[in-house]
Structures are given as structure tokens and as C-alpha cells.
Amino acid sequence: MTVYLVGAGPGDPGLLTVRAAELLATAEVVVHDRLVTKGVLDLVPRGCEVVDVGKAAGWSPVPQREINALLVERGRAGRRVVRLKGGDPFVFGRGGEEASALLEARVPFEIVPGVSAAIAAPTAAGVPVTMRQRSLSFTVATGHEDEAGPDGVDWEGLAATGTTLVILMGASRMAAIAGRLMAGGLPPTTPVVAVRWATTDRQEVLRTDLASVGSISLESPTTVVVGQVAGLDLRWLPAPPGVSTG
């Protein structure tokens, strides 16, 4: 194998898979996204070529076609290339486009799954995306218009399903999204949790409801959970000093 499409997980280096850590330790080239944390990049060996191809909303200094070409070129050169992508490479990470380009160029590659923020962020906030008698399913949707395709996301349709809704890349559009979810029938009092920089030492958790979330300034990278389970907080908190738990 010459190119590895690797999921870097939600941020905490401890949540890398064993396979991802092994590949990073022996990489000759690492091509990484913006949300790959410093803690993960610290695992890259000295002497490795590191290429930052990060994107943000409205800012893409390295177009996707150039990223694809870079992976093909480095792969054809026989170098051990790790394409490091936040979360899982196939969950809104354009991993499918990169795999297609490598396949077309007949460059050998391997896909290494990662822990997606769609699961990790709710868990880090103490929110189970499924729970008996509360939610039997969940849906992951992009809040980024460019990722949603020409027809966009059917938010009204999703509202009608009653499923837990996990929204990635939607921080800047939550006012519009919340309005459409309420238009689709979700009560304004539906619990909402927004988790920024999940699993890292910068993690922030905001608890609100559907009627209020649109008036709150959310910053990327934030994962938003909408549904009855978002009203739960199942995190264990230590007792205050001097308070016995026995």
C-alpha cells in the first residue's frame, strides 16, 4: 500500500485507532485537514513531509482537485502517504472523492475508519444518540450548503421522522436550520446541545432549545444534537471537596 485514507477521530489523540497510530508512526508524507489537532500531529515522525490542505467555510486555499492530484503523485512515487482526515474519512470528509481519484489512477490505497464527531461529540456531552423509549434511531446531516448538493437537506422531512438529529458543519446556519425544523413540526422546546471542540481540552458544551439556538452565536467546529435525548446529561461529575459519596 502507498496511500492510507485515515480517520483522525474527533480530536483527542487517545481516540485514534491503533491502526491509525501505527501508520502515523511510519509515515513519510502526511496530508492533513484543518481540524486535525496538534496532539494528533505530534505523533508524526521527524523528517516526515507534512502538508496542510485545510479548508474552512468560504476558504479553500488548496482545491480538492489539487489534493487528489497530490495524493496520486506522492502515491505513484512509492512514498508511504497518510491522508489524515478529521473524524471518519467517509463521513462528510470527501474521502470518497479521494478514494475514487486513487482508484482511477490505479494507486494502491487503504481506508482506515475513524471515530466520527457525529458520535463522539454527543457522547462527550453525556448525550446518548439512541436510548430505549427515547430515541431508536439517529440521522447525521450536514449543515454546510456546499456539501448538501443542489437540492439541499430536507430539514422539514427530517423533523417529521422524530429521530435524533446530529448536525455537522452547521454552526453558522443554525438559525435557518432551526426555523425549518420547527416548520416541519418539531416543538420550539425540543432540547438542543451544541458541542465545540469535542473530546479536547477546549471542549465547550451549550444546552438550549430549538427556539433559542438560532439567536446564539456558534463557532466552528461545533456538532449540534437536536432531539429529546439532548435533554440528558449522563456525564459523571466528581463530588465537591468534602462531600462523601459512600
Catalytically active residues, by annotation:
33, 55, 169
Long-range contacts of 55-64 (CB under 8 A, 24+ apart): 56/220, 57/144, 57/169, 57/172, 57/220, 64/94, 64/97
How many residues make up the chain in this entry? 246
Judged by DSSP in three states, 78 sits in: coil
Q: Fill in the DSSP letter of residue 73.
A: H
Q: Reduced to 3 DSSP states, what percent helix, strand and coil does the chain have, rounded to the nearest 5? A: 30, 20, 45
Q: How far apart are CA 224 and CA 207, in angstroms?
A: 10
Using alpha carbons, select from 100, 120, 123, 114 the residue that is nearest to residue 40.
114
Q: Convert 126-188 into a string of H (helix), E (strand) and C (coil).
A: CCCCCECCCECCEEEEECCHHHHCCCCCCHHHHHHHCCEEEEECCHHHHHHHHHHHHHCCCCC
Q: What is the dihedral of CA 155, 221, 195, 5, to 10 degrees?
A: 90
